[in-house]
């Protein structure tokens, strides 16, 4: 069976209890699926399989660690523009991501 990118992406987060108030803002040309939280964060979700995450990361050396499954950034309301700050939080734990986006106030 052949999958589209969106179908593959849905498999990447089908094991997660995505909060109902989060909005899927994934765009077909994005590298990863992402959701916007009510607190203004964008949560990027990568494959649950570390081998897939590593294969999809460009420019990694053998000694580099495997990228985390989740990356969180704060976004503005206007056109989802990112602030001039780097990724503010990365983790392999969805529970840590939930705590981070619900506890941070901007």
103: its two tokens: 């506890």
pLDDT band of 33, cuts 50, 70, 90? very high
Q: What is the pLDDT of residues 48-89, one digit of tens each?
A: 998 888 888 777 677 778 889 999 988 765 544 555 555 578
The pLDDT > 70 percentage for the chain reads 77
Query: DSSP letters along 13-37, please?
Result: HTTS---TT-EE---TTSSS-EEE-
> What does the alpha-carbon distance between residue 39 and residue 83 come to, in Å, rounded to a whole number?
14
**Which residue has better confidence, 28 or 85?**
28
Mean pLDDT, the chain, integer: 80
**Which residue has better confidence, 5 or 100?**
100
Cβ neighbours of 80 (radius 10 Å): 13
């Amino acid at each position: 069976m052949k999958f589209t990118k969106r179908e593959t992406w849905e498999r990447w987060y089908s094991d997660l209890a995505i909060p109902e108030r989060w909005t899927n803002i994934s765009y077909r040309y994005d590298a990863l699926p992402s959701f916007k939280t009510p607190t203004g964060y964008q949560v990027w979700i990568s494959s649950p399989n570390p081998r897939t995450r590593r294969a999809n990361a460009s420019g990694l050396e053998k000694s580099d660690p495997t990228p985390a499954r989740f990356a969180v950034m704060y976004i503005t309301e206007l056109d989802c523009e990112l602030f001039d700050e780097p990724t503010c939080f990365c983790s392999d734990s969805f529970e840590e991501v939930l705590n981070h986006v619900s506890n941070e106030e901007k």
